[in-house]
Amino acid sequence: MGRYLFRMPDVGEGVAEAEIIAWHVKPGDSIAEDQSLVDVMTDKATVDMTSPVAGTVVALHGEIGELRAVGSTLVELEVEGEGNGADAPAVVVVEAAAPVVEAAPAPPVIAAPKAVQPPSAQPAFATRTPGQEPLAAPATRRRAHELGIALQYVPGTGPGGRITSEDLDRYVETGGALAAGGAGRLTPRTGGSDVRIVGMRRKIAEKMQEAKRRIPHITYVEECDLTELEALRADLNAHREEGQPKLTLLPFFIRALARVLPRFPQVNARYDDDAGVLHQSDAIHLGIATQTPAGLLVPVIRHAEALDLRALAEEIARLSKAARDGSATREEMSGATITITSLGTLGGVTSTPIVNHPEVAIIGPNKLVERPTVQGSFVTVRKMMNLSSSFDHRIVDGYDAALFVQQLKRLLEHPALIFMD
Question: Annotated catalytic sites, by residue?
Answer: 393, 397
3-state helix, strand, coil in the chain (%, to 5): 30, 25, 50
C-alpha 325/C-alpha 142 separation (Å) is 57
Per DSSP, the chain holds a count of helices (H) and strands (E) of 7, 19
Determine phi and psi for 133, rounding to 5 degrees: -70, 125
CA distances from 110 to 94, 113, 195, 196 (A): 20, 9, 6, 10
DSSP per-residue codes, 185-245: --------------HHHHHHHHHHHHHHHH--EEEEEEEEE-HHHHHHHHHHHHTPPTTPP
What residues pair up with 288 in beta bridges, in sequence order? 340
Q: How many CB atoms lie within 10 A of CB 89?
A: 7
C-alpha 107/C-alpha 201 separation (Å) is 7
C-alpha 322/C-alpha 317 separation (Å) is 9
